[in-house]
Amino acid sequence: MAALTAEPGERTVEESLTDIARRAALFYADAMPLAASLFAEPVLLGRHREGVREIGAGPHVVLDALEGRLVRERDAGRLRDGADPRAAASLLLGACFQRAFFLHFSGAEVVQPVEEFAPAIARTLWAAIS
């Protein structure tokens, strides 16, 4: 969350996006088994959802934080005017989540190592929003 809530700094946006993508990919890979078990049990998922809401957390918090970070980058003149921070945040986090799904479903041999994946996702996203 610290990387998501940080103000634009000396690092380039692409470097920041690479770091965020790496952290998100690793987090989702770790969280995927727990998430799968929650979705397998609707009552448990409902209780978990309620508990997460009570403490003001949930998957949307990360999306909102990354969107906010990209809005600040845009306001600092580091993103192009027509860039959509919400869509960009969704694309980055969605790619990280999909990688985690493939990692657990198909195995490590079919996914790009995170050291290659994160900069590739960041570079591609940056090309669209810069």
Q: pLDDT tens digit string along 27-45?
A: 999 999 999 999 999 999 9
Greater pLDDT, 51 or 6: 51
Predicted pLDDT of residue 48: 93
| DSSP structural state of residue 10 | S
Domain assignment present for residue 39? The answer is: yes
Q: Which domain holds residue 25?
A: 13-129
How many angstroms separate the Cα of 35 from the Cα of each of 38, 89, 92?
Answer: 5, 21, 19
Residue type, 26: L
Q: pLDDT tens digit string along 12-32?
A: 999 999 999 999 999 999 999
Domain assignment present for residue 119? The answer is: yes
Domains identified in the chain, total number: 1
- Domain of 25, CATH number, reads 1.10.357.10
Torsion of CA 89, 90, 91, 94, to 10 degrees: 120
Query: What mean pLDDT is predicted for residues 113-120?
Result: 97
- Asked if 22 and 114 touch (Cβ cutoff 8 Å), the reply is yes
Give percent above pLDDT 70 in the chain. 93
Six token digits for residue 123:
């570079």
Domain assignment present for residue 40? The answer is: yes
Predicted pLDDT of residue 11: 86
Domain assignment present for residue 6? The answer is: no
